[in-house]
């Protein structure tokens, strides 16, 4: 099988070397070029013919956002992964890059760990993402055996919507939330795999795009109809019943599926609290987070929607759910928001 050809663009000589060394150690990746800024990167695109570009956000002459915009004009389908500083400015620029069409992003480790931590992030997180984004669909894992969990003949009234998403998530969530009306009669809880600070900025951006306000969750907050809560970076989010009310609870229990926050803890707890009144939605993302949670959602009588393969940046999370026979409906991204509204509205008429 041909190696994935990668162009590394970063103004730091040290970062270029570390990224190149770790990527080159993987037998399925070939670093076909490096560049110190966007102008050099654009000049190398034609003869280096990369399958994927790793692009720093902050660079002299032509920064990451300007370079990405130029790449999208000349190579609209070329996957680009942003490599940004773990700062508020870096987080904001990263969300801008995702809106411009970047496939994914990674935050450069800062402080403790230094270069060794950088190598670990590149090896354990960036390399798998490159493979997931660039693997031909025909080579994806074989289908899983169908789940033994049954579906109710008539789902209960939807009382809560939970969403799990990862790679490609900010754009996917923006697409879904554009379809949601003001006054949606149920709350929405979201787990997006992101570090601290990024989730707060994402909540602010979704609020600006949607009629449904989004904010970071905090322990003790009550999910309210017509509003959404997103799990803060580095915290799992669960729900508990407190008398007649439901409250969000945050914790820093060990990562699940290598993620914190993870969708599975939220889905499990919501299935216990809402039973057949839960609607779970699994969108684009790498890995299988959400799969085990959806097993419990279905066992409790709830409903599951999954994004289809064609519109997913990476069909990992929804793919596991679909292959296991857990999805009530598999939808292209531009139909997910309307389907949420339809199911919530239909259940209200029941």
104 is catalytic: no
CA distance 60 to 240: 49
**Catalytic site residue from 51, 289, 308, 347:** 289
193 is catalytic: yes
CA distance 245 to 80: 44
* DSSP state letters, 27-89: TTEEEEEEESSHHHHHHHHHHH--SEEEEESS-SSS-HHHHHHHHHHH-TT--EEEEEESSHH
What tokens appear for 87 in the block?
């700062």
* DSSP state letters, 150-188: ---SS-----EEEEEE-TTHHHHHHHHHTTPPTT-SS-E
47 is catalytic: no
CA distance 265 to 286: 17
Count of Cβ atoms closer than 10 Å to residue 120 Cβ = 13
- N-terminal to C-terminal alpha carbon distance within the chain: 53
**Catalytic site residue from 166, 269, 312, 347:** 166
Residues forming the active site: 166, 193, 289
């Amino acid at each position: 099988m041909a190696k994935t050809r990668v162009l590394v663009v970063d103004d730091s000589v040290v970062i270029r070397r570390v990224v190149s060394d770790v990527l080159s150690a993987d037998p399925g990746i070939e670093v076909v070029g490096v560049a110190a800024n966007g102008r050099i990167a654009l000049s190398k695109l034609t003869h280096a013919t990369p399958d994927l570009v790793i692009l720093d956000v902050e660079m002299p002459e032509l920064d990451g956002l300007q370079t990405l915009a130029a790449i999208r004009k000349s190579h609209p389908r070329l996957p680009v992964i942003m490599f940004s500083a773990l700062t508020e400015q870096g987080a904001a620029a990263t969300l801008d890059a995702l809106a411009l069409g970047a496939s994914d992003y990674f935050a450069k480790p800062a402080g403790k760990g230094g270069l060794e931590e950088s190598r670990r992030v590149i090896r354990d997180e960036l390399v798998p993402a490159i493979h997931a984004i660039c693997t031909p669909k025909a080579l994806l894992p074989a289908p899983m055996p169908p789940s033994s969990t049954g579906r109710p003949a008539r789902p209960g009234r939807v009382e809560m919507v939970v969403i799990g998403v990862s790679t490609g998530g900010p754009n996917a969530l923006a697409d879904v939330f554009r379809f949601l009306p003001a006054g949606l009669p149920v709350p929405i809880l979201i787990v997006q795999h992101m570090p601290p600070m990024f989730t707060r900025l994402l909540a602010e951006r979704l609020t600006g795009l949607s009629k449904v306000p989004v904010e970071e969750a905090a322990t003790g907050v009550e999910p309210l109809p017509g509003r959404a809560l997103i799990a803060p970076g580095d915290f799992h989010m669960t729900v508990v019943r407190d008398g007649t009310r439901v409250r969000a609870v945050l914790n820093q229990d060990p990562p699940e599926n290598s993620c914190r926050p993870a969708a599975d803890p939220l889905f499990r707890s919501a299935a216990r609290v809402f039973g057949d009144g839960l609607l779970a939605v699994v969108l684009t993302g790498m890995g299988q987070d959400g799969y085990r949670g959806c097993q419990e959602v279905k066992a409790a009588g709830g409903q599951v929607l999954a994004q289809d393969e064609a519109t997913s940046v990476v069909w990992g999370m929804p793919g596991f759910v679909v292959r296991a026979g857990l999805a009530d409906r598999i939808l292209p991204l531009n139909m997910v928001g309307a389907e949420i509204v339809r199911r919530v509205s239909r259940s209200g008429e029941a």
